[in-house]
Chains A and B, each alone.
Chain A
């Protein structure tokens, strides 16, 4: 295990513990049936029933249909506003791709479970598309919240903070990739699949910098920001990833 991966786990383990602790707190509040979580103390058995209920939702044809159409494709949002839909699906699909292909793929490769070097054309291309999708979502979000400012869109500090956080993760990711391409001297015909990182590397190459040192800084910066965002999910409005999906599926079941 490389030093980087070792330190990544050192950061990731407490972050994931915070994430799961936050999820438990949040779902405990929901299961208590009262907003302050005090009316009905939630027991471990309640969580067991809750998890069983969720598993059943994924075994039900009606709720799975809602999961595909209303959660993944976000049909309802599409019907209301194409711009909002674009923003939301860019974030959702971008992160899904980056998590399942980028992070998980890379992790499995690191552990020798699969062979998926970073410069495998399809892997590099999908990672880049994922990043681009998230960045598109960031741009639409900033445009709507800072420039378009429709009456009904009330922007709070948390909104700006989260979008900025995501923007930093995405941009730092492209920088990490660009610096890697420079350090590893990846040939152009391979590097081109990481089209944004590659383009950035062509610009960065013109500067005289200690790339190895910068690579370390950027890598840790990107890793801390990314894993930090995961830890923040239950404590911010990002929790809607779970709560909204669950609500849409339950609604379909009750219809």
Chain B
């Protein structure tokens, strides 16, 4: 095998870890649990300890560890409690691609049949219903019933643009304002757009990050075929995780993939949206898969800063170092308590800015943060950037 082979690279990365702890210093899961094994440094340590040919000459100094099956179980428990936010990748001084490393370790676990039991339910839901909520997939567009002025033929056979809504925005009531807002903007700006309706299947993201990339292939193939059939030239997403997955795993080189924030920036540049004033203090929370994952940092800021009278304040950690909302990495499926703790930390940081509105561009961030704000009884308003446009901008064709 060559040194560039993915498996060789991953082992080399594990060997490169110096246990400096910089990943722990930015790890929200570690902050929430105090347990090293939920961070990549601890996972690498556990994985190496599982090695049968350990070269550790100091092992005699260390206390005898648990039995191997218990060790694997503990390793798995840690690996599935990482939100995959990728903040650690930004700080690793030896260049370990930590986010990819965690997914790789999960894949290894899955190959040996080790994964949390809750993940099995997601697997089944995706196999039978093609969405993570295990609802009948035809109900993906129920949110349309609560919208006025939607053309009857919004699900078309041919269109220039496909709006890929994603599971969370389609089914979670806490996030359904987003597709309603984005669809309105798409229609009003004159985009020849279609929804996939019941033919939209999960993008595969929850499976890929859980270590089931092979199982995601069917979903990827189906969605790719649908876009090809419609003859779309572009696909627009409001979900950063869908956007990330399509960009990294789908073979659609001739189709433009755009996140809503990029689309809004395009509309702004073309003069198709103009804002009324908004006399509020607002801050922007970078979704992990959009920012660190896809490098989209400036477009949402460009849109928000163009609003007259707005007082835009950055969070103390933003862009590449931005905080995680806690909603990623399938952690919600495995251990909800971690999500809440991480989210409370984010809310504290939002409070420090004095912002009245926290804007994000991700349905999962919206769900978790909205729920966190409610639980904590804070007065902050959580809005998706699409809702800001629908509420405070004029849209032209």
Give the interface of A toward B (CB within 8 A).
22, 25-26, 29-38, 40, 46, 49-50, 53-54, 70, 74, 76-77, 80-81, 84, 150-154, 156-159, 161, 232, 234-237, 239-240, 243-244, 246-248, 250-251, 254
A89 to chain B, nearest CB (A): 12
Given B1, B16, B36, B50, which contacts A31 in the complex, CB threshold below 8 Å? B1
Residue ID in chain A nearest B5 by CB atoms: A33
The answer to whether residues A22 and B4 also contact, given A30-B15, A247-B96, A250-B12 and a CB cut-off of 8 A, is: no
Residue ID in chain A nearest B14 by CB atoms: A35
Q: Judging by beta carbons under 8 Å apart, are A154 and B19 in contact?
A: yes
Interface string of B61-87 (1 = CB under 8 A from A): 110000000000000000000000000
B81 to chain A, nearest CB (A): 17
Give Cα distance in the complex from A46 to B94, angstroms.
Answer: 25
Taking A34-B7, A157-B61 as given, write out 9 further A-B residue pairs in contact, using a Cβ cutoff of 8 Å, ordered by the A residue number. Answer: A26-B15, A29-B11, A76-B93, A80-B91, A150-B21, A152-B25, A158-B61, A244-B95, A254-B4
User: In the complex, what residues of B have CB within 8 A of residue A157's CB?
Assistant: 58, 61-62
Give Cα distance in the complex from A161 to B58, angstroms.
Answer: 9
Q: Is B214 an interface position by the 8 A CB rule? A: no
Size of B's binding interface in residues, CB under 8 A:
46
Q: Is B13 an interface position by the 8 A CB rule? A: yes
Q: Judging by beta carbons under 8 Å apart, are A30 and B12 in contact?
A: yes
Given B51, B58, B95, which contacts A251 in the complex, CB threshold below 8 Å? B95
User: In the complex, what residues of A have CB within 8 A of residue B41's CB?
Assistant: 154
- Which residues of chain B (15-41) have a CB below 8 Å from chain A? 15-25, 30, 36, 41
User: In the complex, what residues of A have CB within 8 A of residue B9's CB?
Assistant: 250
Q: What are the 3 tightest A-B residue pairs by CB atom distance, in nearest-first order?
A: A33-B7, A152-B24, A152-B21
Given A40, A77, A158, A237, which contacts B93 in the complex, CB threshold below 8 Å? A77
Given B3, B94, B96, which contacts A50 in the complex, CB threshold below 8 Å? B3
User: In the complex, what residues of A have CB within 8 A of residue B95's CB?
Assistant: 70, 76, 244, 247-248, 251
Q: Is B233 an interface position by the 8 A CB rule? A: no
Q: Interface majority SS on B: helix, strand, loop or mixed?
A: loop
The answer to whether residues A46 and B21 also contact, given A30-B15, A243-B16, A247-B95 and a CB cut-off of 8 A, is: no
Q: Judging by beta carbons under 8 Å apart, are B17 and A35 in contact?
A: no
The answer to whether residues A244 and B3 also contact, given A25-B55, A31-B8, A234-B55 and a CB cut-off of 8 A, is: no
Residue ID in chain A nearest B108 by CB atoms: A35
Q: Is B352 an interface position by the 8 A CB rule? A: no
Q: Judging by beta carbons under 8 Å apart, are A247 and B22 in contact?
A: no
Q: Interface majority SS on A: helix, strand, loop or mixed?
A: helix
Given B4, B36, B57, which contacts A235 in the complex, CB threshold below 8 Å? B57
A240 to chain B, nearest CB (A): 5
User: In the complex, what residues of B have CB within 8 A of residue A251's CB?
Assistant: 95, 97
Given B30, B53, B94, which contacts A248 in the complex, CB threshold below 8 Å? B94
Given A34, A161, A239, which contacts B15 in the complex, CB threshold below 8 Å? A239
Give Cα distance in the complex from A31 to B60, angstroms.
Answer: 27
Residue ID in chain A nearest B91 by CB atoms: A80
The answer to whether residues A247 and B53 also contact, given A34-B11, A80-B93 and a CB cut-off of 8 A, is: no
Q: Judging by beta carbons under 8 Å apart, are A36 and B3 in contact?
A: no
List 18 A–B pairs whose Cβ atoms lie within 8 Å, in order of A's numbering. Answer: A22-B55, A29-B11, A29-B53, A30-B11, A31-B8, A34-B7, A36-B50, A38-B52, A54-B3, A76-B92, A77-B20, A77-B93, A150-B21, A158-B56, A235-B56, A247-B16, A250-B3, A251-B95
Q: Is B248 an interface position by the 8 A CB rule? A: no
The answer to whether residues A244 and B94 also contact, given A154-B36, A158-B61 and a CB cut-off of 8 A, is: yes
Q: Is B2 an interface position by the 8 A CB rule? A: yes
Given A33, A38, A158, which contacts B58 in the complex, CB threshold below 8 Å? A158
Residue ID in chain A nearest B95 by CB atoms: A251
The answer to whether residues A235 and B16 also contact, given A150-B21, A248-B95 and a CB cut-off of 8 A, is: no
Q: Judging by beta carbons under 8 Å apart, are A244 and B62 in contact?
A: no
Give Cα distance in the complex from A32 to B58, angstroms.
Answer: 24
Give Cα distance in the complex from A157 to B36, angstroms.
Answer: 17
Q: Is B272 an interface position by the 8 A CB rule? A: no
Q: Is B48 an interface position by the 8 A CB rule? A: yes
Q: Judging by beta carbons under 8 Å apart, are A246 and B57 in contact?
A: no
Q: Judging by beta carbons under 8 Å apart, are B11 and A49 in contact?
A: no
Q: Judging by beta carbons under 8 Å apart, are A35 and B93 in contact?
A: no
